[in-house]
Amino acid sequence: MIITKKALSRRTFLRGAGTTLALPLLDAMIPSMTAQAQTPAAPERLRRLGYVYMPMGCDVTRWTPPGGERLDELSFTLAPLDPVKQHVSVIGNLELRNAYPGTHATSNSAFLSAARAKLTESADYYLGTTADQLAAKQIGRGTQLPSLELSMDLMTLAGQCDNGYACVYHNCLSWSSPTTPLPSEAHPRIVFERLFGDGGTAAERRAALKNRASLLDSVMSEFAQLNKELGPADRIRVEQYLDSIREVERRIQRAEANTAAGSARDIERPVGVPSSYTDHARLMFDLQVLAFQADVTRVITFQLARETSNRTYPEIGVAEPHHPLSHHGNDPKKIEKIAKINRFHVSLFAEFLAKLKATREGDGTLLDHSLLLYGSGMGNPNQHDHDNLPVLVAGGAAGKMKGGRHIRFKQPTPLANLHLTLLDKVGVRLDKFGDSQGKVEELF
């Protein structure tokens, strides 16, 4: 730990046995950051870029806001966003031309790449570098993890999963190059250890945890020393941060204990995660809050469920598997259930936004200092089309984004235009991305 009388370094850590704990931005760190304010990298310090993928499209009639350019009224699916709607802009009539001929695999693969996947069932797959990885190469420099790839399901990377397309297209949102897909992680324990573990093998870290009640136990002596150097507001901020970490760790331990006790699980859920989808998703979102808060990473992708997922959602009264429901054949009852799933996913994202908004950082909040894209690479799942995609953008981009709006283009517009715009706002300057034709200037 490095402490000076003038200011703490933004890279101050609390270290213990098997633990390296980054701290959130504190008032005690601001002077040192202000001294660097003239450097080109300084504005990027408070910027995060997140992507949340919703599988298998939606019923667009229940997604589209009913009003005009202002989000005064939300649709059925977007209603859970009401408490944070001033930080949200819904964007309509976006398309993914390179996702055709229209499959689940290409919905997923084109979402962040805007590229056409090579049709292959083998290992000679080829796509394109995704937007998140272009951001990670620039704004991720200097962070512990340049990017973090998360999901909710077990992922298969070998073989073919959809109409002759290799499973890698189906399951990997992020590609660091056209031939390098990045697998995602669905297990909260593994994500937790990536964020806060330090050194040794996974087995060694697990053994160390058995010798103490919590990962935080080994850093408490350093925390006591740090506390002497902080003002009252910073002490409260650090204590709240540590409480959040401890609570997340307890929830992980509880899920692992339930698995050991023989609780039931579905075939798509990794062993050792919460048996409830809701609990699992909230845990994964809370890990993202902690990762952003501690500046462990500035770029995150999260797949709420994989394409063709057969997951059921008994917590909202949907007992039928998601994928078969998406082929609804215009059956009103099936469409209604798809809309309930869509609304449920949006509600979890809304909770995530609310937590970012409630987390103070510098002169604002984590939500103020973030840009988040939520959406799907498929429009109408019954037709497997990639038009009029359900997409929204949330956050503040350090005061640069206008929220509370519904932007609907008169003509179909490439989703790549939005990617190009968001990359530009976090300092990644490109003339073109995918099949982009310009930027979405209306957002800013």
User: Do residues 106 and 169 lie in contact, with contact meaning Cβ atoms separated by under 8 Å?
Assistant: yes
* Helix, strand, coil fractions of the chain, as percent rounded to 5: 40, 15, 45
Stated as kind and residue range, the H or E segment containing 149 is strand 148-151
- CA–CA dist 140, 132 (Å, integer): 10
| Strand boundaries in 208-293, DSSP class E | none
User: Do residues 198 and 20 lie in contact, with contact meaning Cβ atoms separated by under 8 Å?
Assistant: yes
Q: What is the pTM of this model?
A: 0.90
- CA–CA dist 397, 425 (Å, integer): 7
- CA–CA dist 130, 434 (Å, integer): 9
DSSP three-state, residue 311: coil
Partnered with residue 14 across adjacent β-strands are 21
What pLDDT does residue 362 have?
A: 85
How many other CB atoms are found less than 10 A from the CB of residue 239?
A: 12
Q: Please, what's the b/e burial string for 371-407 (b: 16 or more CB within 10 A of its CB; e: otherwise)?
A: bbbbbbbbbbbbebbbbbbbbbbbbbbbeebebebbb
CATH number assigned to the domain covering 41-182+283-443: 3.40.720
What pLDDT does residue 226 have?
A: 84
Cβ-defined contacts of 245-248 (< 8 Å, 24+)? 245/21, 245/196, 245/215, 245/216, 245/290, 246/214, 246/216, 248/188, 248/192, 248/283, 248/286, 248/287, 248/290
The β-bridge relationship of strands 165-166 and 48-53 is: unpaired
Type of residue found at 75: S
> Block means of pLDDT (10 residues each) for the chain, length 444 residues?
56 74 86 48 62 96 93 96 96 97 94 97 94 96 93 70 85 96 92 77 56 69 82 89 90 79 52 86 97 96 94 96 95 97 98 96 91 97 96 86 93 98 94 97 89
What pLDDT does residue 1 have?
A: 42
What residue ranges of the chain are covered by domains with CATH 3.40.720?
41-182+283-443
The total number of residues shown for the chain amounts to 444
What one-character-per-residue DSSP string does 96-122 give? -GGGTTT-HHHHHHHHHH--PPP--SS
